[in-house]
Amino acid sequence: MIEFADKTGLKIRLVYYPPYHSKYNSIERCRGALERHWNGTLLSSICKVIGWAETMTWNGLHPVVHLVDKVYQK
């Protein structure tokens, strides 16, 4: 990214969120809603996790849930 910015003259400004401020991170907000939804249920299988994720609502909408079983490169 630095090399690209240097070659193109693009100015990049990094902004860091304060620690533990999930209100700025939409993924963290959604995960918090999911944790409240399952309310301590024992998630003992992938099917249970997917089932609970499919039944939650966020701003009145149900999420589209897919299991991704691909192994990603490190």
Within a domain: 71: no
Within a domain: 61: no
Q: 41 and 52 in contact (C-beta within 8 Å)?
A: yes
Print the domain residue range for 49: 2-55
Round to whole Å and give the CA distance between 74 and 21: 28
Within a domain: 24: yes
Round to whole Å and give the CA distance between 53 and 66: 10
Q: What is the pTM of this model?
A: 0.51
Residue 8 pLDDT more than 90? yes
pLDDT of residue 22: 64
Give the number of domains in the chain. 1
pLDDT tens, residue by residue, 20-63: 666 667 777 777 777 888 888 888 999 998 888 888 887 888 88
